[in-house]
Amino acid sequence: MTKFFIILSILFLIIFTTITKNSTKRLEDRIFLTKEDINVLKEKFELVLLDYNFLTTPKKLLEYQSKYFEKDLISIDINKIKKITKRNNELIITKFNKINNE
Amino acid sequence: MNSKNKVERLVLENYENEFFYEKNKSNLNITFNRIAFIFFVFLIICIIYSFKVFYLGSLNSKIKIKIPLPIKANYRADIVDANGNFVVKTINTIDILIDPNLVIDKKRLLLNLKLIYPNKDFSKIKKEIYGDKTFYFKKKISEEKYQKIRLLGDKSIIPEEKLSRIYPQENLFSHIIGQIDDDNNGISGIEKFFDYELKTRKEPLKLTVDTDIQFLIREELLKFQDIFKSEGSAAILMNVNNGDVISMVSLPDFNLNKREEIKDVKFINRATKGVYELGSVFKTFTFAAGINEKEIQPDTLFEDLPKNITCAGRSIREYDNEIPSDLTAEEILIRSGNIGSVRIAQKIGIEKFKSFLEKIGVLNKIEFDIEEVGKPISFKWGKCKLATSSFGHGITTTPLQLAKGYSIITNGGYDIKPTLIKKNNPQKIIKNKILNDGVSDTINPILRKVVSTKEGTAGFANIKGYEVGGKTGTAQKTIVGGYSKKKVNTFAAIFPTSKPKYVLIVLLDEPKLNKEYIYHYKDGSGWKYKGTAYNTAGWTSVEVAGKIIEKIGPILATKYIKVN
């Protein structure tokens, strides 16, 4: 009876190890493929970002502005910038620039 | 013999054997014990040493051995700005070569290539295709065109993979980034200084510069280069507390994508390589040295200051003859008095003044992240040198060092190292205080008065909402044996003066008067003035700095200041 249990447990361990190893291998394959996919996507993302950076350079944006809009761009007066803070579901608008204008 | 008598007597007695077992006390046994003892001793020593080795192994070594990383062929890391936008990107491109000796049907090949590149001029190609030498048909072709050329299946077409550096910002960072040669070696700027790192590191190199701010500053410099017809100009915007260079522009610049060989000296990086006598901007250092060495206070009175003094046969004059003869130290700085500055320097003395200038890093060559760094001209200190140095003549430095000096004297006296490379852990930097307490607190309000009061020389930079402070410097350019009439006008600005965050240096190289330019007074009067009255920093560099601050101010305020 003891022998039977020993053989059974050995067999169980062998089968369990085989199944675990197989599933690990499958997982490793999936990790490898995912990593490869990430690398490809990363490369694509970098090229898209390069395109984006090129198309949105300040020089290009000013070109588009003069081409498609009639009004000129003006610099913002810092004193007109306000700070909005949400406190207890209430929006509090305060002065952003704390510098004394003298 | 009677048999009975013959009875043999068998006597059984204990046989006492001479051999008996006892522990051998021979020499051999004694040796064994000794070996065991020695072995035991060695075992103990080994265990102790093992513990010691494990203990030492668990400690963090102070000496870090750097294993050189392998240089990858045909690889160069990208460079990004402070916001993560590409400043430089490496992409693999394909150049197409044609070997005329392998062409089977030259007419057919030409026809096919014309179909792919209908706008290309084929007259030169036609000549070369009927020659013997292999030639470049087209460089840096797109993937789409390459696939079309590949489908021609012609053996004479040889694709050549190459590494290309793309600069989406074109001229914007030319002096910072620098160039590389055809063998992937950096030849100037960051490309040269970080050549090994760029060839080995995986992640992009992150800079401290901001593309938007760099663009706005360059635009203003370009605009005023045209207005004042200057030979060149430079601007540096730096964080006074950590030395991060947010913008560094030098004009003229060049388009990095064109990969031209730059030999003309006018393309020098004026911000770091240009070594100039910067004039009155040095008076702030003289004043700061006096405060730091406790030789003067802002209200220290200097009486009977002459308008003219002579040193070794050379005359030292006041620029403004209307300047009063009795001035406090503060008034000397605000009104930019030459003779008053000489008197302050004389009070400080040569050794202390020299030591102060060395401490703030304006006298010796600075360590920076690009190769193109100028070395201030060394000289022998004497009484006359002390006098002229006090108001920025006969002493040279670079605009970058000027920015560093102004940062230290306004940030509370902490040493900083100007840098273009973004640090991973900025919080970990230990601040080293090199000036005494109170120096910055004394100087900052005075620099503010230079801009905000009528007596000051930098009123055009008084942009509301930014508390701009600073000092102007108008210097004649040196020529062999003396000075020329050409000028270098500089303005060193700090803002906000109540708690300085930024230093802005604007330098105009040989500006000229403009009769048409209209100045808007910033004193609230609403007055306008047509034409540049004087070729001084107050009428040139200050105006440029004011316009720059007006434009970049809102970005700096909202982007770099944390909203609570």
pLDDT in tens, B334-385: 999 999 999 999 999 999 999 999 999 999 999 999 989 999 998 899 999 9
**Residue B504 pLDDT exceeds 50:** yes
User: Tokens 């100087």 label which residue?
Assistant: B443
**B474 pairs with which residues across the strands?**
B489
pLDDT score at A33: 93
> Mean pLDDT score of chain B, rounded to an integer?
88
B119-144: pLDDT as tens digits: 888 888 888 888 888 999 988 887 78
* Residue B497: predicted pLDDT: 93
CA dist A72 and B285 (Å) reads 42
pLDDT surpassing 50 at residue B265: yes
Chain A positions touching B76 (Cβ under 8 A) are none
3-state secondary structure of B92: strand
Place of tokens 């910055």: B440
Nearest one of B479, B493, B488, B478 to B508, comparing CA atoms: B488
The whole-angstrom separation of Cα B233 and Cα B254 is 14
Instruction: State the DSSP code for B183.
Output: T
Give the integer Cα–Cα distance in Å for B340 and B256: 47
Give the pLDDT band (50/70/90) at residue B564. very low
With CA atoms as reference, the chain A residue closest to B523 would be: A102
- Residue B457: beta bridge partners? none
Q: Which residues are CB-neighbours of B162 under 8 A, at least 6 positions away? A: B74, B92, B93, B94, B95, B140
Extended strands (E) in B189-305: 205-206, 232-239, 245-251, 276-277, 301-302
Residue B22: both structure tokens together: 């006892």
Helices (H), B229-373: 283-292, 329-334, 338-348, 350-359
Note if the pTM is more than 0.90. Answer: no
Residues of chain B neighbouring A79 (CB-CB closer than 8 A): 464-465
Which is nearest to A50 in space by CA: B25, B221, B257? B257
CA distances to B122, B253, B295, B308, B394 from B384, rounded to whole Å, are 70, 38, 20, 14, 9
pLDDT category, B561, cuts 50, 70, 90?
low
Structure tokens at B304: 């009977």
Can you give the pLDDT at residue B395?
92
- Helix H, strand E, coil C: the string for B456-471 is CCCHHHCCCCCCCEEE
CA–CA min distance A95, chain B (Å): 12
pLDDT digits (tens, 9 = 90+) for B534-557: 999 999 999 999 999 999 998 888
pLDDT band at B559 (very low <50, low <70, confident <90, very high): confident
Distance CA B490, CA B246 (A): 19
Q: Give φ, ψ of B84 to 5 degrees.
A: 85, 10
Residue B286: the pLDDT is 95
Residue B72 has pLDDT above 50, yes or no: yes
Percent of chain B beyond pLDDT 90?
59
- Residues of B contacting chain A (CB within 8 angstroms): 78, 85-86, 89, 91, 166, 168-170, 172, 211-212, 215-216, 452, 464-467, 496, 498, 550-551, 553-554, 557-558, 563
Q: What angle do CA B210, B180, B397 make, to 5 degrees?
A: 60
Residue B302 to residues B122, B140, B244, B296: CA-CA distances in angstroms? 80, 69, 38, 10
**Partner residue facing B215 (CB), from A58, A77, A101:** A58
Amino acid at A19: I
Probe site for chain B from A42, A47, A53, A85 (most B CB atoms < 10 A): A53
Q: Hunting for tokens 């002579």 — which residue is that?
A: B310
Measured between beta carbons, the chain A residues lying within 8 angstroms of B216 are: 58
**pLDDT (0 to 100) of residue B563:** 47
- Mark yes or no for CB contact A78/B465 under 8 Å: yes
Tens digit of each residue's pLDDT (9 = 90 or more) over B267-282: 999 999 999 999 999 9
Give the model confidence (pLDDT) of B92-122 as tens digits: 788 899 999 988 888 899 999 999 998 888 8
B330/chain A closest Cα distance in angstroms: 20
Summarised one tens digit per residue, pLDDT across range B7-65 is 566 665 665 556 555 555 555 555 677 888 888 999 999 999 999 888 888 777 666 66
Q: Closest partner residue to B212 among A49, A58, A75, by Cβ?
A: A58
pLDDT at B9: 66
Q: What is the mean pLDDT of residues B294-317?
A: 89
Instruction: Give per-residue pLDDT as tens, B467-490.
Output: 999 999 999 888 777 788 899 999
From residue B357, alpha-carbon distances to B222, B320, B549 in Å are: 32, 26, 28
> How many angstroms separate the most distant Cα atoms in chain B?
174
pLDDT at A88: 87
Q: Could B170 and A47 be called an inter-chain contact, meaning their C-beta atoms sit closer than 8 Å?
A: no
Tokens of B226: 């045209």
pLDDT at B451: 95
Query: What pLDDT score does B351 carry?
Result: 94
User: H helices then E strands: how many in chain A?
Assistant: 2, 2
By C-alpha distance, which of B399, B391, B503, B493 is closest to B448? Answer: B493
- Among B54-63, B283-292, B439-448, the minimum mean pLDDT is found in B54-63
Q: Is the pLDDT of residue B391 over 90?
A: yes
The first and second tokens of residue B79, run together, are 């460079």
Please tell me the least confidently modeled range out of B8-17, B54-63, B168-177, B492-501.
B8-17
Give pLDDT, residue B58.
79
pLDDT tier at B439, thresholds 50, 70, 90? very high
User: What is the predicted pLDDT for the residue at B493?
Assistant: 96
